[in-house]
Amino acid sequence: MSAIERCRTAALGGHVERCEKCSHTVIAYNSCRNRHCPKCQGAAAREWLAEREAELLPVPYYHVVFTLPARIADIAYQNKAVIYDLLLKASSETMLTIAADPKHLGARIGLLSILHTWGQTLQPHPHIHCVVPGGGLSPDHTQWISSPSNFFLPVKVLSRVFRRKFVAGLRRAFRSHQLAFYGECLALANQSNFSAFLYRLSRQDWVVYAKPPFGGPEHVLHYLARYTHRVAISNHRLLAVTESAVAFRWKDYAHGSKQRTMTLSPEEFLRRFLQHVLPKGFPRIRYFGWLANRARKQLLPLCRHLLRHSLPATEASSSNTLATWPCPRCQGPMRVVERLTAAQIPFAERRLICVYDSS
């Protein structure tokens, strides 16, 4: 919260930007660069998407969602690193296992997984978004096996295998004393109570949802832009902020995705927001199969070769220059000409005012 509060204020220092054409000069405050800050994800998302664009294949892409039952949410909040890691691994292993089965696809697939922990009202809702190409490598890596048209893997089978793998992972975590229980969950520290809890979980249906294939690679990028670096709530959803209330828009999916307004006390709003802060260093975007970091360099070119698809030409990255944004006056390139500490900013602002007054 300290990082978000100080983001783009003088407390973090700043820099002087000047237009190369008209010499228009401004002082910009630095960003906090915290991954949970709603104002600091734009540049990171664009850079990440540019990297993913170079990896797209000329095949349909599917979107599969794995959701944890609501009764696990409290345990997940008290054991974020363990439960979220298990969620990512269980969902990816489920996809890889079913896809490798000759009764289904019989191929080694590659997938991207993104962890989300919130719903529209900021309440806990742990789930995984998977984006996966429609097909994979044959076991001997000599051919590309395409999935059937408009169908990837059976969701009922995925649901049962996902449930089995996650419950087994929970049992292992309990036996190795990796789980902690507090408050209303304290009774689960008892082995018999926890076993009964696992039994109830294994008897209910788990939700796995598969959307139809995307229209093409450009649709994949459009989708990823909404889900990769987004935090629990973005600033544009905020409608009003006062000392006594925070009002924001939310989409009611249970009633035709109607736009509704929710008003919370500032304390409750912050409580809900902070539930979704991840453990330090925890990666919520991960890659599996032939898209895994250790395999991508060798197997992605092989996939392109088998699909007879050449590597797309990429434009030179704008990050190699110092240009940050177009000049508001003449649209020329703005460049950083000076770095400022927090203590230097007041003097730089007075200096800039004097320059404009004299001109």
Residue range 304-341, pLDDT digits in tens: 999 987 665 544 343 343 445 788 889 889 889 999 88
User: Is residue 226 domain-resident?
Assistant: yes
Tell whether 220 and 338 lie within a shared domain. no
User: Is residue 85 domain-resident?
Assistant: yes
Residues of the chain with pLDDT below 50 are 314-323
How far is residue 174's CA from residue 166's CA, in Å, rounded to a whole number? 12
Give the count of domains, the chain. Answer: 3
Residue finishing a domain among 221, 252, 275: 275
| Contact of 250 with 260, CB cutoff 8 Å | yes
How far is residue 203's CA from residue 193's CA, in Å, rounded to a whole number? 16
> Nearest-CA neighbor of 6 among 27, 26, 34?
34
Tell whether 27 and 149 lie within a shared domain. no
Tell whether 63 and 164 lie within a shared domain. yes
User: Residue 307 is which amino acid?
Assistant: L
| Average pLDDT of the chain to the nearest whole number | 88
Tell whether 89 and 106 lie within a shared domain. yes
Q: What is the pLDDT of residue 151?
A: 83
Tell whether 166 and 260 lie within a shared domain. no
Tell whether 119 and 20 lie within a shared domain. no
> Nearest-CA neighbor of 56 among 282, 268, 307, 234?
307
Q: What is the pLDDT of residue 358?
A: 54
User: Is residue 311 domain-resident?
Assistant: no
Tell whether 298 and 346 lie within a shared domain. no
∠ Cα 68 286 214 (to 5°): 80
Estimate to the nearest angstrom the gap between the alpha carbon of 355 and the chain centroid: 44
Tell whether 107 and 173 lie within a shared domain. yes
User: Is residue 49 domain-resident?
Assistant: no
Global pTM reads 0.87
Its domain, for residue 72, covers 55-232+280-306
User: Is residue 313 domain-resident?
Assistant: no
Phi-psi region of 177 (alpha: psi -120 to 50; beta: other; left: phi over 0): left
User: Is residue 44 domain-resident?
Assistant: no
Tell whether 270 and 353 lie within a shared domain. no
Tell whether 100 and 177 lie within a shared domain. yes
How far is residue 318's CA from residue 304's CA, in Å, rounded to a whole number? 26
Phi-psi region of 186 (alpha: psi -120 to 50; beta: other; left: phi over 0): alpha
Q: What is the pLDDT of residue 152?
A: 87
For 145-174, the pLDDT digits (tens) are 999 877 889 999 999 999 999 999 999 999
How far is residue 291's CA from residue 14's CA, in Å, rounded to a whole number? 38
User: Is residue 351 domain-resident?
Assistant: yes
Q: What is the pLDDT of residue 219?
A: 79
User: Is residue 312 domain-resident?
Assistant: no
Tell whether 33 and 181 lie within a shared domain. no
Q: What is the pLDDT of residue 203?
A: 93
Q: What is the pLDDT of residue 311?
A: 60
How far is residue 64's CA from residue 132's CA, in Å, rounded to a whole number? 8
Residue finishing a domain among 252, 275, 298: 275
Please tell me whether residue 130 adopts helix, strand or coil conformation. strand
Q: What is the pLDDT of residue 189?
A: 96
| Contact of 137 with 144, CB cutoff 8 Å | yes
Tell whether 111 and 18 lie within a shared domain. no
